[in-house]
Each structure stands twice: as structure tokens, then as C-alpha cells.
């Protein structure tokens, strides 16, 4: 109950901050403008729109999560606000879990907003492309089919943001905003790149340097496998992501890694001097 109170207050703070409106306006503008952008894909522009749209939503929601984690955790610790809150009957684990849950609620609000706009864009763009290329009208059933195809990608994207949020909360217990942003963005890129490097290192007759191969395997073991949540390339080819066989195992991975990151946050914050 105490964590929920902290979560609701954090969520309100996340939604009211200027960064929320900036991210919503910028990402929403991109999702709208790219509907009419020509990708020169010979009538298959909607596939590129799906891929870029999913990436846009995930990236801007991730930025909001990182900024909110820094402002609501790191800044409160540095500004001595946290010690006032913890002087009440609230322990440090409740404080961290409440902050994480609140950030998740704030990011979820942005994700639902952008996701709804993106789904509407996919619905409209399918008919727009068909009208521009063949001069015909799309069937409503096929338009809704295009929207249903991107829903698993949206869910997987939110899982990716959840994992990065938990990592950012853990880092925020010790590091300020700038360092948190740099580390988390680095984890974002390495988390997507490490599976590719590991595959290249394990390939037969690979020319990859041994040190690069070792580092790739180390990153693949320690860092989250964010490429696991990247459904954009598959969806852009017309594939349907299965809910039971893929999305559900991804949810299990998300819960386990986020839980491990929060446990690490508890350990880092337990002996943090707040005075």
C-alpha cells in the first residue's frame, strides 16, 4: 500500500513533467508525418512504417523512463528529499519499488498514447498506399488485420522499456542523471548488438578477433537480450508474432530480468548514505 502511494505520486510527476509532453509531441509528430513519406519500396511502404513506428515508440518511451528515473530517484537522493520520505514508516525497498512502479505507470500512459496513434496510422496507411498505388479501396477486415499484426510488437516494445527502466532505477541509486543516461543508452545499443556479435563469433571460419568474441559473449551473458523484444523486422516482413509461443516467454524473461535489476537496486540503495 505504501509503495502504491509512492507509485501514484511518481506517475503524476512523470506525466506532468515537460519531458512527457515533449516526447509525446515529437514522437507523435514523427508517427503522423511518416504516414505520407515515400520509402520507395514498390507499394510496400507500410512494412517500413511498421518497423520505424515501433522503434520510434520504444526509443522515446525509453528516454522518458530514463529521465523520470533520474529526476525521481537520483535527484531526490541528492536533494535530500528521499531522507524526509524515509523518515516516515517507509523502508528503502518500498521506496525503490514504488518509484519503479510509478515510472512504469507514467511510461505506460505515453506508450498507450503513442501506440493508439501508431495503430490508427497503420489502419489509415494501408488504405492510403493501396489508393496511391492501385487506385483501389481497402477492405476494413484487411485494415484491422494490419493493426492486429503490430499489437504483439507494441507489447514486446513495452517489455523492453520495462527492462531498461528497472536498470535505470538501479543506476539512479548511485549515479546522477547524465551518467545514468549514458550508461543506459550504451546498454540499449549493446543489448541489441551483442547477439549479432556472439553469432558472428560462434560462426565457423569466423575472422572475428578473439577479444571481440569474448566481450560479445560477456555482454550477452550480463546485459539484457534486448534484440529478443525487437519484433519490428519480423513484423515488417508480414510475419505474425505468436502470443503463446513468443510473447509469453518474452514476458517471463522481462519479469525475471527486471526483478533481478530491482534486487540489485535494493542492494545498492540499502547502504546508501542519505544524510
* Model pLDDT for residues 55-101, shown as the tens digit of each residue: 999 999 999 999 998 888 877 777 656 666 666 677 888 889 999 99
Tell me the pLDDT tens digit for each residue of 237-268: 878 899 999 999 999 999 999 999 999 999 98
DSSP strands (E only) in 11-144: none
Check residue 90 and give its pLDDT.
Answer: 78
The set of cell numbers assigned to 29 is 509528430
Phi, psi of 263 (to 5 degrees): -60, -40
Give the global pTM.
Answer: 0.89
- Predicted confidence band at 43 (pLDDT cuts at 50, 70, 90)? low
Give the list of residues 6+ apart from residue 172 with CB closer than 8 angstroms, or none.
69, 70, 73, 74, 77, 180
Distance CA 160, CA 158 (A): 5
- Cβ distance 254 to 162 under 8 Å? yes
Q: Which of 259, 210, 197, 250 is nearest to 228 (CA)?
A: 250
The set of cell numbers assigned to 225 is 537480450
Give the percent of the chain with pLDDT over 70: 85
- Cβ distance 20 to 60 under 8 Å? no
Distance CA 242, CA 195 (A): 22
Phi, psi of 124 (to 5 degrees): -75, -40
- Dihedral of the CA atoms 249, 253, 256, 258 (nearest 10)? -130
Check residue 118 and give its pLDDT.
Answer: 96
- Predicted confidence band at 138 (pLDDT cuts at 50, 70, 90)? low
| Helix %, strand %, coil % of the chain (to 5) | 80, 0, 20
Amino acid at each position: 500500500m505504501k509503495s502504491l502511494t509512492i507509485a501514484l505520486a511518481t506517475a503524476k510527476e512523470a506525466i506532468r513533467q515537460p519531458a512527457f509532453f515533449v516526447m509525446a509531441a515529437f514522437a507523435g509528430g514523427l508517427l503522423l508525418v511518416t504516414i505520407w513519406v515515400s520509402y520507395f519500396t514498390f507499394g510496400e511502404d507500410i512494412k517500413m512504417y511498421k518497423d520505424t513506428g515501433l522503434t520510434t515508440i520504444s526509443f522515446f518511451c525509453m528516454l522518458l523512463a530514463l529521465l523520470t528515473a533520474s529526476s525521481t530517484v537520483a535527484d531526490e537522493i541528492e536533494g535530500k528529499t528521499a531522507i524526509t520520505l524515509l523518515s516516515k514508516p517507509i523502508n528503502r525497498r518500498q521506496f525503490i519499488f514504488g518509484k519503479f512502479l510509478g515510472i512504469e505507470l507514467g511510461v505506460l500512459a505515453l506508450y498507450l498514447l503513442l501506440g493508439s496513434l501508431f495503430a490508427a496510422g497503420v489502419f489509415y496507411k494501408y488504405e492510403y498506399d493501396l489508393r496511391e498505388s492501385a487506385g483501389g479501396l481497402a477492405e476494413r477486415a484487411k485494415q484491422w488485420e494490419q493493426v492486429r499484426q503490430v499489437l504483439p510488437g507494441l507489447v514486446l516494445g513495452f517489455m523492453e522499456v520495462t527492462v531498461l527502466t528497472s536498470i535505470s532505477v538501479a543506476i539512479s541509486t548511485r549515479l546522477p542523471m547524465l551518467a545514468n543516461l549514458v550508461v543506459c543508452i550504451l546498454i540499449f545499443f549493446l543489448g541489441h548488438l551483442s547477439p549479432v556479435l556472439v553469432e558472428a563469433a560462434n560462426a565457423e571460419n569466423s575472422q572475428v578477433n578473439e577479444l571481440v568474441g569474448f566481450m560479445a559473449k560477456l555482454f550477452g551473458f550480463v546485459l539484457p537480450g534486448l534484440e529478443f523484444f525487437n519484433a519490428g523486422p519480423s513484423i515488417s516482413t508480414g510475419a505474425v508474432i505468436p502470443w503463446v509461443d513468443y510473447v509469453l516467454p518474452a514476458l517471463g524473461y522481462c519479469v525475471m530480468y527486471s526483478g533481478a535489476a530491482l534486487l540489485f537496486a535494493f542492494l545498492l540503495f540499502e547502504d546508501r548514505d542519505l544524510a
